[in-house]
Amino acid sequence: IIAAGLNSQGEILPKGSLNYTLTKELDFSGMSLSGLYHTVDVQSATLSHATLLGKDMVIKALSGDIFVSESTITAENTLTIQTPQMFTNLHSQIQSKEGTFYASTLINKGKCFIQADHLSFETSSFFNQKENLLSPLIFSKENFSLQTHMLINQGTFFSSQSGEIFAHDLTNENLMY
């Protein structure tokens, strides 16, 4: 466990920040908890069986991929995930009030869940894929925006209020709301 802003009872207080800056790959399993800001600024990142928790969070790969597997990422306010390459989410839960994702290719596969009040995706290719009959869910309480060249959807996009999908090539094999 790596933590900043915890009291003696293990409660997260509204103070304390964590910053990971590496010139190589981050390979992380475990818990990383902060009361305020959580920043990951690395060449590439692998988060496997990890829990990341913070008020505002940025996960940025400068040149490589971001791979998240069987993990939980929770940002109380804002979450930005950014990579010039591929962002892969396998069987993970990602939650925030405002979620923004930038990636050349975005893969959301299996029993995974991305939830926010406001969600925005900018990518060249987006694959929302089933795995062993487990479907990914992307849920937005308020508004949702996806801009992509190619979208292949086998999962569910759901927005309580409004949603926009801009795609040049679209293959839809499941529900979209």
Taking phi over 0 as left and psi of -120 to 50 as alpha, with beta for the rest, 73 belongs to: beta
**175 pLDDT higher than 70:** no
161-172 pLDDT, tens digit per residue, is 888 999 999 898
**66 pLDDT higher than 90:** yes
Distance CA 61, CA 55 (A): 20
What local confidence, expressed as pLDDT, does residue 64 receive? 96
**177 pLDDT higher than 60:** no
In terms of pLDDT, which residue wins out, 8 or 98?
A: 98
Question: What is the pLDDT of the chain when averaged over all its residues?
Answer: 90
For the entire predicted model, the pTM comes to 0.91
What local confidence, expressed as pLDDT, does residue 98 receive? 96
Contact 64, 43 (CB under 8 A): yes
User: CA dist 43 to 40, 74, 147, Å?
Assistant: 10, 22, 25
